A and B are shown apart, each in its own frame.
Chain A
Amino acid sequence: MSIKIGEIPYKERIQNGIKDDFMRQAVSSAQGRFRTGRLTQAAELGNWEDWRDLGEEIRTHTLENLDYYLHQLSEQVARRGGHVFFAETAEEANQYVKSIIQKKQAKKVVKAKSMVTEEIGLNKALEEVGAEVVESDLGEWILQLDEDPPSHIVTPALHKNKQQIRETFAKKKGYTGSDTPEELAAFAREQLRQDFLSADVGVTGCNFAIAESGSITLVTNEGNAEMVTSLPDTVITVMGMERIVPTWEEMEVLVSLLTRAAVGQKLTSYITAITGAGLELEVDSPEEFHLVIVDNGRSKILGTEFQSALHCIRCAACINACPVYRHIGGHAYNSIYPGPIGAVITPLLEGYDDHKELPYASTLCAACTEACPVKIPLHEHLIRHRQIIVEKEKGPTAEKLMMKGFAAWASNPAIYNMSAKMAKPALGPWTKDGMIENGPGPLKAWTEVRDFYAPQGQSFRSWFKQRQKDGESK
């Protein structure tokens, strides 16, 4: 897997999303809960805007000095007995991890939830060298068993219902219990506990690396990242190069923003910072620790007008606020990074060719920008993407033609007046109670997903003329 998750065309993906009643219901209820959680936490603090300002300042300073902090981080990790590998591409990162797996002759790799390893397709690479890879986050495990991509970056299996999960467990793991969430989770606990204990290598992502001490901070609720880093003898952390803070003090602020913005928790159940290979006689520390720092297209964003997109702390608050995500769901974005942040970074990381529709999957209502705990101007980035796409003449041809046509049509008063008057009778057959529900020709794309007000027969100009006349006569 890479950032892109499939070959289904954009419109078809949207249709699939819109027709999936369970998914839409689940997404809308999840959005409601996540948003309420975030807003409650923000209200309780009373000075949420100060927190957001601080978050933005920290991210801006860190990205402006990224080379310095990554240098410091690598020095500290090495000083604490760890190995650091800088990978410019996904292939280099995968190659390095594979080489460790082979050197260790590892048969089983247990993983904690990580977006960057999804991005670089690490699981597939490890399976190529014969390792069994087990995802240990409950949501990720469900998706792995079902060979399905994530649809949300915090709750990846949001689109699945419990009956589907029970069936997957039954088919893949011989589960015979009910579909109550508690029983399903208890089964996962029992199964995965064995995997934790028998794994040779643990692989994690990274929420925040701390430059001053060479520590890796992991944020979870389930405790799986703790298992992954405590039980296997070799631990490999893969991090996107921008996931770093200067010191513990900034880590603390960003973790507080992350857990509040993501799930409305003051802190998640487990926040863990691991540093290097363990010291002597430490049973729960790995004997060998590797940190893989991944670029994979991020440096193309650095130094550009999109740099603040690298400030993202992957909380999904923008996703939870987005009215478009609410209706089409995560898979419609065809990226492991869905929602507004996905629409911003996916074209930056992988280019416009495969993802040129994404900046248009937005109403530009700016709910995302307002929700972002580090104040990334997401909707402004989306507008800029659209400008670039149009400038490159990669904009949807229909829209360009329509805009050209509209300009010619609307700038000639005689033609405009006539066609506005003509439109009502012409569209009569498609009109019901003043709304067009299933329009012909160019209207079809619009009315497939929403209704269109039928022309009123009286244009604004004729109404205004009439009003002036009435006024004069009074």
Chain B
Amino acid sequence: MSIQNREAFLDKLASRLRRERRTEGVERPQWSVTPQEEVFKGMSQDELVAVLEKHCKVIHTTFKRTDRAGLASVLNETLQAYEGKSIVTSNDARHQEYGITKFFEEQGDQLDVHVWDAAIGKENQKIAERADVGLVFSDITLAESGTVTLFNTKDNGRSISLLPRTFVAIIPKSTLVPRMTQAAKHIHQAQASGQDVPSYVSFITGPSNSADIEMNLIVGVHGPVKATYIVVD
């Protein structure tokens, strides 16, 4: 770990600003307005689900809603729609809790499921690259923008949501917040209390897209070409 040329560089900035160098004692001011706090303030979880559902149309994402009992069948239906035979997913305790582990076991030979395994290193990426479907749980879900937030760790590689042809996010209703403000606040507070932010945080909003050719919207560029969100009550 190295830091090179810092002192001269920053001394120069301080001199341009016509003051002594500052290395401590700077506090963020109280901002005069905080409009970000007002968006969807006081909404219930169900109201936030409605906001999310509406916005899924804008971001070309299929929206589904079910409860724990219905999750297996909704997942099955989604996999069929995507002709998903091979699946890569995170090594996540919630799979057991939500009955997904059981569903995969029941499917047996019908599905080729790879659970992220830190021990096999880069091999995970190769499997993800070939997979039809990447399946993850949303850690924080932003209703306003239709965004799933993923804290990527050694058991939950980012490749899962990135390399497969399609992307399925399971969204526990409790993970819904109004917007990015609440996710950022959560991370900021954790960081301030000495808990390091994961080395990758991904805010994913629907499938990848581009408008670089004559401003035509093309859905599906480098990342997944299709996406489904399944909200679980």
Contact = CB atoms under 8 A, between A and B. Distances in A.
A139 B211 CA distance: 9
A66 B13 contact: yes
A196 B208 CA distance: 16
A83 B180 contact: no
B185 interface: yes
Interface string B33-70: 11110110000000000000001000100000000000
A148 interface: no
Given A61-B28, A70-B10, A138 B207 contact: no
A284 B202 CA distance: 12
A255 interface: yes
Interface in A248-275: 248-253, 255-256, 263, 265-275
Nearest to B125: A283
A100 B218 CA distance: 36
B71 to A, nearest CB: 25
A66 B185 CA distance: 22
Given A57-B29, A283-B159, A295-B9, A137 B212 contact: yes
Interface string B148-188: 00001110011100100000000000000001110111011
A330 to B, nearest CB: 14
Interface stretch (A180-188, A345-353, A426-434): A180-188
Contacts, number: 294
Contact of B218 (A51, A71, A185, A274): A185
B188 A247 contact: yes
A19 to B, nearest CB: 20
B223 interface: yes
A222 B10 contact: no
Nearest to B218: A185
Contact of B22 (A26, A67, A74, A186): A67
Given A65-B26, A161-B214, A282-B154, A248 B221 contact: no
Given A279-B154, A284-B158, 11 more contacts: A51-B35, A71-B22, A84-B4, A86-B8, A181-B218, A182-B218, A221-B208, A221-B209, A249-B184, A281-B119, A303-B16
26 contacts: A45-B39, A54-B31, A67-B13, A67-B17, A68-B23, A84-B4, A85-B4, A87-B5, A92-B5, A165-B213, A184-B213, A185-B218, A213-B196, A215-B201, A221-B221, A222-B223, A223-B223, A224-B222, A226-B223, A227-B162, A252-B180, A253-B36, A266-B146, A269-B59, A269-B205, A272-B203
Interface of B: 1-6, 8-14, 16-18, 21-24, 26, 28-29, 31-36, 38-39, 55, 59, 118-119, 121-122, 124-125, 129, 142, 144-147, 152-154, 157-159, 162, 179-181, 183-185, 187-188, 191-192, 196-216, 218, 220-224
Interface of A: 26, 29-30, 33, 45, 47, 50-51, 53-54, 57-58, 61, 64-71, 74-75, 78-88, 92, 96, 136-139, 142, 155-158, 161-162, 165, 181-182, 184-186, 188-189, 192-193, 196-197, 212-213, 215, 221-224, 226-227, 229-231, 241, 246-253, 255-256, 263, 265-285, 293, 295, 299-300, 302-303
